[in-house]
Structure 1
Amino acid sequence: MESDLISNLPDEILGKILSLAPTKEAASTSVLSRRWRNLLGLIDSLCFDESVVVYPNEEEEATRCSHLFFDFVDKTFALLSKTPTINKLSLSHIPRRGRDDDFSRVNRWIWTALERGLTELHLHATPRDHGLGFYLSRELFTSNTLVKLTLSGEYRLQVNRVFLPALKSLSLLSNLLDGPNYGLLLDGCPVLEDLLITETHPWALPCCALYVESAPLRRLVIIAKLSDIQATHVFLKAPSLEFLDYSAFVTNEYDFVDLDRLVEARLDLMLFDSSVYDEHVYYYDSDNDCYYDDGRPEGVSAANITGLVAGISNVTTLHLSPESLELFHLCCESMPAFNNLLTLSIESDESQGWQAMPILLESCPNLHTLVIKGLVHRVTSRCGDACPCSPDEHKNKKRRIVKEDEEICCLSTCQVKVLEISEYGGSFQELKQMKHFLEKLECLETVKVCVDADANNNSGEFLRANLLSLPRLSSKCNIVFI
């Protein structure tokens, strides 16, 4: 008979293993043997998820099953009455209308875990009924041990005082928080380093994503996609911030101040009415014998990201989504100097243009690495000399004429040594763009190209051969495929 290696492990090790599993599954191991019956009391991580319960269609049965879930959590905490330490509690449940005792039971579970040194707490409430919020007890926000806190879904706060002296990580995921309670929560976290805010609730007003002021904050992620609600002012002040990931619809005014320590920024900016790009008109300038687009689409002028761009100008690494790159042109009144920028990463999309590329590259005198995901972009006459594109000849009766005495190409003065291209498909437009890069970037030393995974082996070899045959201005330039 083969030995049971798992059962031979010490009880303390088995307790750690059970702590990694959902608590319901960990509890089910008690039927294995007499020894396993008492191992549940050794776990220090609890995970309760009511969403894994498959409810019948009938409301009475759903209510009954929910009642069984709450009873199960009660019994589990009773079994853990002698457990000295609970490190982590994760609770996802469905509040029931008219059941006020649910509030007291949940608050009691949290308080019990806090009394045993809880360091990590994740709470999520998903109601069956629209607008049914779940309120937390005021006493829960004076913990001396809590290091990580996540509030998600319908959890609401009504607090008079918040003091979480050990809290370093806070995640507010689509919460129904108002300004005063959010302000108290943020002010009561004196060592907070990591803040994640998502506001995607269809019936929630923007709050947390509009105002962030925290002296110790080092990492901030904001995802605010409330497309039917337009804010007018966004304020961010975080003198210790090192990383910013900002994804939101653009607004009228940004105050991004005291971000001198910011090292990396990721921007995914969006317009409220993306349809302004659908119709783009070109006109012919007979004096200069060239075509230009019609400038800013109607409705874009109200958005102004100048304060945002100026606030992040000290970064060394900048990532831009396709629409963010175009909004640098449409909604930024002046481009600051990015003197510290070493790595610029952009994504391209056939519906978004590169109009901001010339002035952006000229504003990065020390740029070392340029990373581009996809080379196909919307063709406009304002991409300048960052690309060789011209407006579609079928839409324009005359092609744009580039005169020899025009300004020096922005790529010719660029100090980029490493160029990384991903999702390269080898189309005529992409090959033309690569040729333009290789002929203009005189400091280029390494070109890394990742060929589109959809290309088969034969076409992949053909794409590689085409790229290797292109002329290069820099004698040090080496093309590698990854």
Structure 2
Amino acid sequence: MDHISSLPDGVLCHILSFLTTKEAALTSILAKRWRNLLAFVPCLKIDDTLFLHPEKGKGDREDVKQSFMDFVDRVLALQGNSPLNKFSLQSFSGADSDRVDGWISSVLARGVSDLDLKIILHLDRLWDPYQLSPKCFECSTLVSLSIGSGIDVSLAAARVFLPMLKTLILDSVGVCPNEFETLLHSLPSLEELLLVYVDWKGMDVTVSSASLKTLTIELCFLLNTLSFDTPSLLHFDCSGYAAWDYPVVNMGNLVDAQINFSEIHIKSLGEPDNDEDALRFSNMWKLFHGMRNVPHLSLLPDTLEVLSMCSESMPVFNNLKSLAIKSNKERGWQAMPALLRNCPHLETFVIKGGIMHLVTDKCGDVCDCISREDKGLSLKLCPVKVMKIHGFQGTVEEMAMIKHFLEYFACLKEMEVYPEENNNPTQLGNQRVLEMFELYNKLSSCNVQLFI
């Protein structure tokens, strides 16, 4: 007997739970010992692509679809009423909706705690989604619920009883904003919420939860208003399109936030005829005002561009200790002077993606791109002690920028410079670059380190 087969049934079933259900079922032919273990596997991962192989044309064959549905029926019948921790169903090839309803009802009745559903009934009619059963929102054992790809939850949330639910994921599903707000108010234990490419059936969305601690939201289209009433929120990640307005932003206990607006069509502040962009982002300050107590903030290139549209209304971040930005050669640093001036207790400043950026006359005194009389004023007022630069390429322009930072960050004690990934270490380690860093260390009270 091999060593694996000698393990207790509970251990073997735990091992099988890491496989897809089809793979777990195939182990029944290994030996008599394995024949009935599938009946007690606590996690079922059912994926119709493993049966239909659409790349081989099987997805259009009704007999193969029927074979898949029969397999799911047999597995659930085999398991009977045995405890089930997780049920994951991915079906993109037109399973019968009544059969799907039956599968979901079966696992809910068995006390499943983790339910993950991705269902598309008609690949040729994506506008006709699967209507999720209301039973998914009436389960006393669910702790994690993930709904994605081709499911409509608008009517299902009419009656909600999910007292144990801590994690809710809505990914590429249709949702009515009013019903969504009702749903959140019915989840007393909710701690984590992910909203990814939700098809909002309305232009005004409110995320309101007294218990929520982690929120990830990615918008795929423009909303009129987006409000957050989340007084217990600790972790916030917002990406995609920015909304026109943020009427309510209640995030007084935030620990960290990352804002990554993907406004690929926005014009730079220095470009002509950008009045439309300036009007659209004129209310962006409200979002940042609601986040003003955050100690750790991360901003990506388009976000900096958006912030430049409302720099005059930028709040003071009195609690901010760590600021990370990602730079981009196609985006400017127009927001940086006001941002650094409004961080009176900043200790760590991180720049990712290199320190090169789009040069405009609006960069202010933060960079060394354009000569000006008030050079370095914003840096002098900023108390940052540690600076980290990622994406260094060893160019003359970068060396000048580093020198600028060392001269004007008056409280700077440590500077760490990391090369761009996949960069040629020989270029960074050439004599000129090494001599310049050695000189910087001699002339400055700051400890400057190049990690190559």
- Is this a same-fold pair by TM over 0.5? yes
Unaligned runs of 5+ residues in structure 2 are none
Give the counterpart of 1:221 among 216, 231, 245: 216
What is the aligned partner in structure 2 of residue 255 from structure 1? 247
Give the counterpart of 1:131 among 123, 127, 131: 127
Aligned-partner Cα distance in 2 for 1:464–1:80: 66
- Structural mapping, 1:18-57, within 5 Å: 18-52=16-50, 53-55=52-54
Q: Per-residue deviation at 1:205?
A: 4.1
| Matched residue type, 1:445 | K
Contact 1:235 1:254 (C-alpha < 8 Å) held by counterparts: yes
What is the aligned partner in structure 2 of residue 188 from structure 1? 186
Q: Per-residue deviation at 1:477?
A: 2.8
Matched, 1:150 2:111: no
Q: Per-residue deviation at 1:476?
A: 4.4
Aligned-partner Cα distance in 2 for 1:13–1:6: 9
| CA shift digits 1:34-53 (9 cap, x unpaired) | 11101111200000011233
Give the counterpart of 1:479 among 434, 449, 452: 449
Aligned-partner Cα distance in 2 for 1:174–1:82: 32
Q: Cα distance 1:335–1:478, how it changes in 2: closer, same or farther (>3 A)?
A: same
Matched, 1:375 2:350: no
Contact 1:133 1:154 (C-alpha < 8 Å) held by counterparts: yes
Q: Cα distance 1:145–1:211, how it changes in 2: closer, same or farther (>3 A)?
A: same
Counterpart secondary structure, 1:73:
helix
What is the aligned partner in structure 2 of residue 384 from structure 1? 364
Aligned-partner Cα distance in 1 for 2:25–2:31: 12
Q: TM-score, normalised by structure 2?
A: 0.92
What is the aligned partner in structure 1 of residue 306 from structure 2? 327
Give the counterpart of 1:243 among 235, 239, 254: 235
Matched, 1:119 2:119: no
- Aligned pairs, number: 443
Counterpart secondary structure, 1:35:
helix
What is the aligned partner in structure 2 of residue 285 from structure 1? none
Further displaced range: 174-183 or 138-147: 174-183
- Structural mapping, 1:293-308, within 5 Å: 296=274, 298-304=276-282, 305-308=284-287
| Matched residue type, 1:360 | L
What is the aligned partner in structure 2 of residue 70 from structure 1? 69
Q: Per-residue deviation at 1:235?
A: 0.8
| CA shift digits 1:184-234 (9 cap, x unpaired) | 32222111000000126xxx44659932011100000001122xxx32211
Q: Per-residue deviation at 1:296?
A: 4.9
Contact 1:354 1:378 (C-alpha < 8 Å) held by counterparts: yes
Aligned-partner Cα distance in 2 for 1:316–1:447: 20
Q: Per-residue deviation at 1:61?
A: 4.2
| Matched residue type, 2:399 | L
Further displaced range: 53-62 or 416-425: 53-62
What is the aligned partner in structure 2 of residue 394 from structure 1? none
Structure with higher helix content: 2
Contact 2:441 2:448 (C-alpha < 8 Å) held by counterparts: no
| Matched residue type, 2:436 | N
Q: Per-residue deviation at 1:64?
A: 2.6
Further displaced range: 420-429 or 62-71: 62-71
Counterpart secondary structure, 1:185:
helix
What is the aligned partner in structure 2 of residue 287 from structure 1? none
Counterpart secondary structure, 2:401:
helix
Counterpart secondary structure, 1:309:
helix
| Matched residue type, 2:180 | Y
| CA shift digits 1:121-144 (9 cap, x unpaired) | 000013412212111222331111
What is the aligned partner in structure 1 of residue 439 from structure 2? 469
Contact 1:301 1:331 (C-alpha < 8 Å) held by counterparts: no
| CA shift digits 1:364-421 (9 cap, x unpaired) | 011000000111100011111110012xxxxxxxxx5x23xx4761111211111001
Q: Cα distance 1:205–1:117, how it changes in 2: closer, same or farther (>3 A)?
A: closer
Sequence identity of aligned pairs in percent?
35
Contact 1:248 1:270 (C-alpha < 8 Å) held by counterparts: yes
Aligned-partner Cα distance in 1 for 2:332–2:214: 30
Contact 2:328 2:356 (C-alpha < 8 Å) held by counterparts: yes
What is the aligned partner in structure 1 of residue 168 from structure 2? 170
Contact 2:177 2:204 (C-alpha < 8 Å) held by counterparts: no
Query: RMSD of the TM alignment (CA)?
Result: 2.3
Q: Cα distance 1:56–1:460, how it changes in 2: closer, same or farther (>3 A)?
A: closer
| Matched residue type, 1:164 | L
Contact 1:194 1:220 (C-alpha < 8 Å) held by counterparts: yes
Matched, 1:315 2:294: yes
Unaligned runs of 5+ residues in structure 1 are 282-293, 391-399
Q: TM-score, normalised by structure 1?
A: 0.86
